[in-house]
Amino acid sequence: MEYAVEMRNIVQKFGEKEVLKGIDLKIHEGEIFGLLGPSGAGKTTLIKILTGQLKQTAGEVQFLGKNAGNGKKGLPDMGMMMDNFGLYERLTCYDNLKLFTRIYGVPGKKADEALRRVGLYGDRKQPVMKLSKGMRSRLLLARAVMNEPRILFLDEPSSGLDPVTAAEIHKLVCEERSRGATIFLTTHNMEEAHKLCSHVALLHEGMIVEYGQPEQVCRRYNHQNKLLIRLYGGEQVELSNNRTSADKVKGYLEQEMVETIHSTEPSLETVFMELTGRGFE
Amino acid sequence: MMRNTTAIFQKQIKDTLKNKEILIQFIMFPVMAVIMEKSIKIEDMPAHFFADMFSAMYVGMAPLVSIAAVIAEEKEKNTLRVLMMSGVKPWEYLLAMGCYIWLFCLAGALVLGIAGGHEGREMIIFLLIMAAGILASLLIGAAIGTASRSQMMATSITVPVMLVFSFLPMLAEFNDTISNVARIAYSRQIGLLIGKAGDFCVSFENIFVICANMLAALLLFGCAYKKSGLA
């Protein structure tokens, strides 16, 4: 299977400080990949290397089987949405996108299409300076997907957004995946990662400390391996998840006492707190 | 090949109409020249004194301040980075910005030329002189904009540089020492050429100083670009 992105032993040093310590990652074509990690873990540094904004100290990056130039900008099959990527404040939403239709060499009508997709068509004549944070994020996403890139980099796409706007962005991300795009996103939001990503990796102090499908990762850290049963009447019972508990579970079920039943695998957040010794801030 | 340059040029025209700080740079001196030429008449004052004086000041101020401000703003707000990441080459961006400011300033120069009573061949010569001066200022402004990380930083460098180049031609009129020192500044040479646009008598000194200033500005820009880059 061809990989959309392949990183081999990526090292990044700033002076004496080693921010990335030999990153090896393979991202399958057409998947949503989530890079998770606390602030300062090196997520943005890695995304900057992948998008050509920063030249890595050592290592190799391949896109769609081809070597990426070290620090070379402007890869044609790449779309990017980064919080610090600016918009032209005095221009309208439409004019902001129109400029890029011409730069990408796509028809001008793509600007209107993209505005419709992100729900900003009604505000197409609004200057960017009058948009809310959520609307700006949607406009950034519209600009990133307008030329239908094969690889889409999203840096904290729903950071600081209300749940409705975040859900709209998630929907668009899924639509892009359905189109066949590979999506590389960084996030603090474990729920977002669990919901969207087919694979996640945890970056901690410049190293990948865990990698896999979100459910797989959670199951791997299910040390307790217990069942939590909540009975009608409010009582909560904790049982070992093995054959010794089978009779008890059967009994509760036969007596129709079970209100809810859960296994105790941890959430992604709990796994990452266990691995890093700290939460996501 | 020119697709990106044209796109950025058009974007910039749209932006100018909403960017009062830049718009005022383009129109302030031409408007002042027209008003003062019409309203102030002093005995023994040389013909078109205000228009000629403001023309030299315009060359030293408007292009320099405008291009430095535009580049610095794009750097600060990361829009320049987005352009570069989208495949726009630095020269395409600089060409678009240079052409845009050069043409807007030439439009202002045309108003100054009309206010200064230049007509026909004299007007063409006047515009050629202004075009050369605007180009020199553009190079200095581009160097400042490129070297700056923010608009505030660009302003703090632009103001003293602009004051020197725009006020030297005027101050040189009133003081011999300043006049001698000012000869090494392109804006003074432009001022001198404007004064004799009717005869169009270009001296070696005029050409040498303007070219030397342009070369120095180009070197300055090269250093700033090498050190900071555009994005």
The predicted-structure confidence for A96-121, as pLDDT tens digits, reads as follows 999 999 999 999 999 999 999 998 99
Whole-number pLDDT of residue A278: 64
Compute CA distances B175 → A47, B171, B192, B228, whole Å: 59, 7, 15, 39
- CB–CB of B11 and A85 under 8 A? no
- CB–CB of A90 and B18 under 8 A? yes
Token match 């190079």: residue?
B139
Is A227 a residue whose pLDDT tops 60? yes
Token match 């505000």: residue?
A123
Q: Which residue of chain B comes nearest to A77, CA vs CA?
A: B86
Q: Which residue of chain B comes nearest to A101, CA vs CA?
A: B7
Would you say A120 and A142 are in contact if contact means Cβ atoms under 8 Å apart?
Answer: yes
Reported as a single tens digit per residue, the pLDDT across A46-71 is 998 988 888 899 999 988 877 775 54
Task: Give the Cα separation of A198 and B38 in Å (integer).
Answer: 74
Compute CA distances B67 → B11, B13, B60, B158, B185, whole Å: 15, 13, 12, 10, 19
Q: Which of A76, A84, A127 sits opposite B78 (nearest CB)?
A: A84
Percent of chain A topping pLDDT 90? 47
- From B18's Cα to the closest Cα of chain A, the distance in A is 6
Whole-number pLDDT of residue A141: 92
Give the pLDDT band of residue A158 (cuts 50, 70, 90): confident
| Average pLDDT of span A24-36 | 93
**Chain B residues whose beta carbon lies within 8 Å of the beta carbon of residue A85:** 78, 81-82
DSSP conformational letter for B149 = S
- Residue A238, chain B, CB below 8 Å: the answer is no
Percent of chain A topping pLDDT 70? 95
Compute CA distances A206 → A9, A41, A56, B203, whole Å: 12, 6, 13, 64
CA B211-B212-B218 angle, 5° bins: 90
Is A199 a residue whose pLDDT tops 50? yes
- CB–CB of B86 and A104 under 8 A? yes
Whole-number pLDDT of residue A76: 60
Is A147 a residue whose pLDDT tops 80? yes
Whole-number pLDDT of residue B49: 84
Reported as a single tens digit per residue, the pLDDT across B187-227 is 999 988 888 766 767 888 989 999 999 999 999 999 999 98
| Average pLDDT of span A196-207 | 92
Q: Which residue of chain A comes nearest to B92, CA vs CA?
A: A103
Would you say A122 and A94 are in contact if contact means Cβ atoms under 8 Å apart?
Answer: no
Task: Give the Cα separation of A257 and A196 in Å (integer).
Answer: 35
- Residue A86, chain B, CB below 8 Å: the answer is yes
Q: Which of B14, B81, B88 sits opposite A103 (nearest CB)?
A: B88
Give the pLDDT band of residue A1 (cuts 50, 70, 90): low
| Average pLDDT of span B16-20 | 89
- Residue A103, chain B, CB below 8 Å: the answer is yes
- CB–CB of B18 and A85 under 8 A? no
- CB–CB of A102 and B7 under 8 A? yes
Q: Which domain holds residue B201?
A: 3-228
Whole-number pLDDT of residue A84: 76
Is B116 a residue whose pLDDT tops 80? yes
- CB–CB of A103 and B83 under 8 A? yes
Q: Which of A240-249, B89-98, B147-156, B157-166 shows the lowest mean pLDDT across its residues?
A: A240-249
- Residue A40, chain B, CB below 8 Å: the answer is no
Whole-number pLDDT of residue A71: 47
- CB–CB of B84 and A99 under 8 A? no
Here the ipTM equals 0.85
Is A140 a residue whose pLDDT tops 90? yes
- Residue A76, chain B, CB below 8 Å: the answer is yes
**Number of domains composing chain B:** 1
Strands A32-36, A199-204: pairing is: parallel
Whole-number pLDDT of residue B173: 81
Task: Give the Cα separation of B202 and A138 in Å (integer).
Answer: 58
- From B80's Cα to the closest Cα of chain A, the distance in A is 8
User: What are the strands of the beta sheet with A236-240, ordered from one edge?
Assistant: A236-240, A226-231, A258-263
Compute CA distances B7 → A105, A157, B11, B17, B92, whole Å: 10, 28, 6, 16, 10
Calculate the average pLDDT of chain B. 90
User: For testing the chain A interface, which of B10, B75, B78, B86 should be mutated: the one with the most A CBs within 10 Å?
Assistant: B86
- CB–CB of B231 and A73 under 8 A? yes
Is B151 a residue whose pLDDT tops 70? yes
- Residue A105, chain B, CB below 8 Å: the answer is yes
A-B C-beta contacts closer than 8 Å? 61
Whole-number pLDDT of residue A69: 59
Q: Which of B7, B14, B77 sits opposite A103 (nearest CB)?
A: B7
Would you say A160 and A133 are in contact if contact means Cβ atoms under 8 Å apart?
Answer: yes
Which string of b and e fits B148-185 if b means at least 16 CB within 10 Å? Answer: beebebbbebbeebbeebbbbbbebbeeeebbeebeeb
Q: Which residue of chain B comes nearest to A78, CA vs CA?
A: B86
- From A72's Cα to the closest Cα of chain B, the distance in A is 9
- From B12's Cα to the closest Cα of chain A, the distance in A is 10
Task: Give the Cα separation of A279 and A154 in Å (integer).
Answer: 22
- Residue B6, chain A, CB below 8 Å: the answer is yes
- Residue A90, chain B, CB below 8 Å: the answer is yes
| Average pLDDT of span A231-258 | 87
- Residue B88, chain A, CB below 8 Å: the answer is yes
- From A34's Cα to the closest Cα of chain B, the distance in A is 22
One-letter amino acid for residue A253 of the chain: L
Whole-number pLDDT of residue A143: 94
Is B75 a residue whose pLDDT tops 50? yes
- DSSP lists the bridge partners of residue A220 as none
Is B134 a residue whose pLDDT tops 80? yes
